C-alpha cells in the first residue's frame, strides 16, 4: 500500500510517501505563492523521485497552515495531531513533542498510542518561531542555517530582553553598533527564541521521552538551550525532524485506509 | 546661543541646529549598520545647511532610542520630552503630542507651560508602529511615499487579523496572492495602526490641542484615520513632524539639563 502526506506550512512545504510502512521518499521546499501551488509542486517532486504517479497513491492526507487548499488530499488533519503521530511513529517512546515551525511553536503531549492528550501553541506572536530567527539572522547579516553553528562558538552570549521580534531586531542592531561579536549575538538570538518556547511549555505536563521537530530543530543552538532550560534531553529521531508533520499525515492516511501494520 | 539636537531614532537619524530658539538647519537620513558614520553625516549636513561651523555649537543634546551612540553630548534626553518640547515651542496651545515613530508610539501630555506631565508608549510589541506599515507596504510593493494615494483608492479596506507586525507581513502577501487589491490591504493596515495609536491616545486621557509627530504623521491617510477614530482635530505645525524630537533636543540644550540644575523631575 502506498500512502502520502503533505504538510504546507507558512514557510516550507513537505511531502512524504510511504510504501508498506517504509518511507519511500520525502521532499522539502520553500512555499510558493499559494498553498495549492506549494502542495502540487512539492508532491510532484516527491512523486518524480519515487518514480510514481498520482494514481499510484492509495490515500493522501494533508496538514499544516494551508491544509484546506490541497486538491489531491482526501482529508486534512490538524498539524498538532500529525506532529504527535509522526514523532510517535519515528520513535514510539516519545511522549512530548516540541515543534518550532515557521510561524508558530507548540508543545504537544501524546499518549502511548501517539494520540494528542494536551497541547499549547503560540501562533499570535512571531517571537519564539522560525520567522523570528529569520528576521534576527537578517539583522545580524548571517544565513539562517549559520546561526546554530555560529552560536556554539560564543563565549559571552548577549542577553536579549525584549519579547517582540521587531524590538529584538532593534536590540540586535544595537549590539551590532557596539561591535559585539557575531557569535555572541547569534547565541543571544538562539537563547531568546529557546526562552520563549520554554516559557510556553510550562503549561503542559512534560513526560519523557522528548522530541523536537520543525525547521528550528535543525538549529543546534536553540535545541541545546531548550534542553538546558527544560532540563530534558531530546531523543534524536531517525527521520528528518522537518518532515514529521507530513509523515504524521501519511500515517493517518495509512491507518484509516486499511492495512494496519 | 547656537545649539544642536540629534535624534537617533529606530529608523532615521535627524539633526537640528537652533540659534536663540530659531531653526537654522536640519537634516535626516536612514539608519544603517555603520551608525557612527550616519550620525556624523547627518550632523555635518545640518551644520552645512545652517552655515555654522561645528565649533560654534555651544551645546549638543541627543535623544531617541540611540541617544547614547552620539559622542560628545552635553547630555541626553528622553524622546517623549524632546518631541513635546519641540511641538510646544512651535505652538504653545499644544497639550498632547502623539509621536508615531519607526518602532515606538509614544503619547506625551504637557501642561500649559509646556512642562512634561506623563507619557505612555508601546514598549512590549511593535504592532501599530511605523515599521508595521513599512513592512506591509514593502511586501505588497507600494512605495512608502505613495501609501496615502493607494489608500484613498480603496473601496473595501481589508481587515488585518494579525496583531504581530511580522505575521502581518506574511498575511498581506497571502492576500495579494489570493487576488486582493493592494489598495484595500494598505487601507486596512493604516486602519489597524491608527486604531493602536487611538487606543494609546485614549488611555492617557489626552487634552486638546493635539499634535502628531514622527514619520507616520507625515502619511496624510494615517493622520486622517486617526482623527476619524478619536474624533479629534490635530494641529499641523510649521515643521516636518519627524523633526520635533531633534528640534526639542536642541531647545533643551539652550536651557541646560533640567535634571542637573535642580529642577523637579516628574
Instruction: Give the CATH number of the domain where residue B125 resides.
Output: 3.30.420.40
Using pLDDT thresholds of 50, 70 and 90, give the confidence band for residue A253: very high
- Which ranges constitute the DSSP H helices of A51-129? 79-90
A176: contact with B, CB 8 A cutoff: yes
For residue B164, which residues of chain A lie inside 8 Å, CB to CB?
124-126, 165
Interface residue ranges in chain B relative to chain A, Cβ cutoff 8 Å: 10, 31, 33, 35-36, 65-66, 69, 103, 124-126, 129, 131, 163-167, 170, 174, 177-178
Spatial separation of the C-alpha atoms in residues A145 and A155, rounded to whole Å? 20
pLDDT at A32 over 90: no
CB contact (8 A) between residue A166 and residue B166: yes
Using pLDDT thresholds of 50, 70 and 90, give the confidence band for residue B76: very high
To the nearest whole percent, how much of chain B has pLDDT over 70?
Answer: 96
Shortest Cα distance, chain B CAs vs residue A166, angstroms: 6
Q: A80-89, B1-10, B195-204: lowest mean pLDDT where?
A: B195-204
pLDDT at A183 over 90: yes
In this complex, how many residue pairs, one in chain A and one in chain B, have their CB atoms less than 8 Å apart? Answer: 55
Q: Which CATH class is domain A95-236?
A: alpha beta
| B187 or B178, higher pLDDT | B187
Same domain, B66 and B16: yes
Same domain, B98 and B77: no
Please, are residues A170 and B65 in contact by the beta-carbon 8 Å criterion? Answer: yes
pLDDT given at position B125? 87
CB contact (8 A) between residue A166 and residue B177: no
pLDDT given at position B33? 84
Residue in B265, B242, B231, B212 with CA at minimum distance from that of residue B94? B212
- Fold classified for A1-91+238-261: Nucleotidyltransferase; domain 5 (3.30.420)
Same domain, B99 and B71: no
Closest residue, chain B, to A9 (C-alpha): B170
pLDDT given at position B263? 46
Note the maximum CA span of chain B. 61
pLDDT at B265 over 70: no
pLDDT given at position B261? 52
Same domain, B138 and B87: no
B87 CB burial (10 A radius; 0-12, 13-18, 19+): buried
Please, are residues A8 and A241 in contact by the beta-carbon 8 Å criterion? Answer: no
To the nearest whole percent, how much of chain B has pLDDT over 90?
Answer: 61
Same domain, B204 and B75: no
**What are the residue ranges spanned by the domains of chain A?**
1-91+238-261, 95-236
Shortest Cα distance, chain A CAs vs residue B221, angstroms: 24
Same domain, B97 and B213: yes
Q: Model confidence over B27-68: pLDDT tens digits?
A: 999 998 889 999 999 999 999 999 999 999 999 999 998 999
Q: Please give the mean pLDDT across all residues of chain B.
A: 90
Mean pLDDT along residues B89-116: 92
Closest residue, chain A, to B165 (C-alpha): A166
Mean pLDDT along residues B77-97: 93
| B234 or A11, higher pLDDT | B234
A174: contact with B, CB 8 A cutoff: yes
Q: Sheet of B105-110: strands edge to edge?
A: B116-121, B105-110, B96-100, B210-213, B234-235
For residue B163, which residues of chain A lie inside 8 Å, CB to CB?
124-125
Mean pLDDT along residues B213-241: 91
**Number of domains observed in the structure of chain B:** 2
Residue in A195, A204, A210, A178 with CA at minimum distance from that of residue A133? A195
Same domain, B61 and B163: no
pLDDT at A205 over 60: yes
Residue in B57, B115, B87 with CA at minimum distance from that of residue B263? B115
Minimum-distance CB partner of A177 among B69, B125, B177: B69
Same domain, B97 and B220: yes
CB contact (8 A) between residue B125 and residue A163: yes
Mean pLDDT along residues A100-118: 92
ipTM of the complex: 0.82
Give me the domain span that covers residue B184.
93-236
CB contact (8 A) between residue B164 and residue A124: yes
Question: Grid coordinates representing A5?
Answer: 502526506
Minimum-distance CB partner of B131 among A33, A141, A166: A166
Q: How far is CA A96 from CA A107, A128, A161, A206, B260, in A?
A: 7, 18, 28, 6, 57
CB contact (8 A) between residue B170 and residue A131: yes
Shortest Cα distance, chain A CAs vs residue B178, angstroms: 7
Spatial separation of the C-alpha atoms in residues B252 and B77, rounded to whole Å? 8
Minimum-distance CB partner of B124 among A126, A164, A173: A164
pLDDT given at position A259? 55
pLDDT at B166 over 90: no
Mean pLDDT along residues A184-195: 94
Using pLDDT thresholds of 50, 70 and 90, give the confidence band for residue B167: confident
A33: contact with B, CB 8 A cutoff: yes
Minimum-distance CB partner of A176 among B33, B131, B166: B33
Q: Please give the mean pLDDT across all residues of chain A.
A: 91
A261: contact with B, CB 8 A cutoff: no
CB contact (8 A) between residue B163 and residue A165: no
Q: How far is CA B92 from CA B85, B86, B266, in A?
A: 10, 10, 20
Question: Which residues fall within 8 angstroms of residue A135, CB to CB, at 6 or more apart?
Answer: A126, A165, A166, A168, A169, B166
pLDDT at B266 over 50: no
Same domain, B105 and B83: no
Same domain, B101 and B80: no
pLDDT given at position B129? 87
For residue B167, which residues of chain A lie inside 8 Å, CB to CB?
103, 124-126, 131
Same domain, B1 and B40: yes
Mean pLDDT along residues A29-41: 89
For residue A69, which residues of chain B lie inside 8 Å, CB to CB?
none
Instruction: Give the bridge partners for B105, in sequence order.
Output: B100
Mean pLDDT along residues B90-96: 94
Q: Model confidence over B118-153: pLDDT tens digits?
A: 999 888 888 888 888 998 998 889 999 999 999 999
For residue B177, which residues of chain A lie inside 8 Å, CB to CB?
33-34
Q: How many Cβ atoms are within 10 Å of B153's Cβ, its own excluded?
A: 12
A53: contact with B, CB 8 A cutoff: no
Mean pLDDT along residues B237-246: 93
Interface of A with B in 111-130 (CB under 8 A): 124-126
Spatial separation of the C-alpha atoms in residues B6 and B247, rounded to whole Å? 8
Spatial separation of the C-alpha atoms in residues B125 and B105, rounded to whole Å? 10
pLDDT given at position B256? 74
* Whether the bond into B209 is cis, omega within 30 of 0: yes
Amino acid at each position: 500500500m502506498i500512502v502520502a502526506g503533505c504538510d504546507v506550512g507558512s514557510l516550507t512545504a513537505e511531502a512524504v510517501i510511504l510504501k508498506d510502512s517504509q518511507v519511500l521518499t520525502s521532499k522539502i521546499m520553500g512555499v510558493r505563492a499559494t498553498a495549492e501551488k506549494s502542495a502540487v509542486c512539492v508532491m510532484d517532486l516527491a512523486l518524480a523521485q519515487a518514480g510514481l504517479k498520482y494514481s499510484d497513491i492509495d490515500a493522501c492526507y494533508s496538514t499544516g497552515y494551508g491544509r484546506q487548499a490541497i486538491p489531491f488530499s482526501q482529508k486534512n488533519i490538524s498539524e498538532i495531531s500529525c506532529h504527535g503521530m509522526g514523532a510517535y511513529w519515528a520513535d514510539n517512546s516519545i511522549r512530548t513533542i516540541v515543534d518550532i515551525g515557521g510561524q508558530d511553536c507548540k508543545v504537544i503531549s501524546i499518549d502511548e498510542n501517539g494520540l494528542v492528550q494536551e497541547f499549547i501553541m503560540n501562533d499570535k506572536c512571531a517571537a519564539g518561531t522560525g520567522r523570528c530567527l529569520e528576521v534576527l539572522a537578517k539583522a545580524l547579516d548571517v544565513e539562517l542555517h549559520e546561526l546554530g553553528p555560529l552560536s556554539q562558538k560564543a563565549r559571552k552570549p548577549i542577553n536579549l530582553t525584549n519579547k517582540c521580534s521587531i524590538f529584538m531586531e532593534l536590540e540586535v542592531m544595537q549590539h551590532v553598533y557596539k561591535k559585539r561579536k557575531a557569535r555572541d549575538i547569534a547565541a543571544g538570538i538562539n537563547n531568546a527564541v529557546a526562552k520563549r518556547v520554554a516559557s510556553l511549555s510550562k503549561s503542559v505536563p512534560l513526560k519523557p521521552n522528548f522530541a523536537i521537530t520543525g525547521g528550528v530543530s535543525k538549529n543546534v543552538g536553540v535545541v541545546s538551550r531548550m534542553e538546558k532550560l527544560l532540563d530534558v534531553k531530546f531523543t534524536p529521531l531517525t527521520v528528518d525532524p522537518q518532515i514529521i508533520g507530513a509523515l504524521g499525515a501519511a500515517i493517518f492516511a495509512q491507518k484509516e485506509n486499511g492495512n494496519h501494520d | 546661543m547656537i545649539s544642536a539636537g540629534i535624534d537617533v531614532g529606530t529608523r532615521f537619524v535627524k539633526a537640528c541646529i537652533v540659534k536663540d530658539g530659531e531653526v537654522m538647519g536640519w537634516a535626516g537620513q536612514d539608519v544603517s549598520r555603520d551608525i557612527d558614520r550616519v550620525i556624523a553625516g547627518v550632523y555635518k549636513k545640518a551644520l552645512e545647511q545652517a552655515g555654522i561651523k561645528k565649533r560654534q555649537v555651544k551645546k549638543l543634546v541627543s535623544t531617541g532610542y540611540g541617544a547614547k551612540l552620539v559622542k560628545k553630548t552635553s547630555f541626553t534626553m528622553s524622546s517623549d520630552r524632546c518631541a513635546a518640547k519641540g511641538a510646544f515651542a512651535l505652538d504653545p496651545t499644544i497639550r498632547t503630542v502623539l509621536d508615531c515613530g519607526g518602532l515606538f508610539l509614544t503619547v506625551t501630555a504637557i501642561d500649559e507651560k509646556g512642562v512634561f506631565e506623563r507619557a505612555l508608549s508601546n514598549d512590549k510589541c511593535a504592532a501599530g508602529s511605523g515599521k508595521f506599515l513599512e513592512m506591509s507596504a514593502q511586501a505588497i510593493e507600494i512605495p512608502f511615499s505613495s501609501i496615502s494615494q493607494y489608500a484613498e483608492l480603496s473601496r473595501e479596506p481589508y481587515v488585518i487579523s494579525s496583531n504581530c507586525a511580522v505575521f502581518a507581513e506574511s498575511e498581506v502577501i497571502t492576500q495579494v496572492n489570493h487576488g486582493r487589491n493592494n489598495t484595500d490591504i494598505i487601507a486596512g493596515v493604516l486602519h489597524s495602526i491608527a486604531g493602536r495609536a487611538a487606543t494609546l491616545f485614549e488611555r492617557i486621557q489626552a487634552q486638546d490641542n493635539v499634535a502628531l509627530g514622527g514619520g507616520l504623521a507625515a502619511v496624510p491617510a494615517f493622520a486622517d484615520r486617526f482623527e476619524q477614530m478619536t474624533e479629534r482635530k490635530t494641529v499641523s505645525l510649521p515643521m516636518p513632524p519627524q523633526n520635533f524630537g531633534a528640534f526639542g533636543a536642541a531647545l533643551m540644550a539652550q536651557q541646560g539639563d533640567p535634571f542637573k540644575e535642580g529642577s523637579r523631575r516628574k
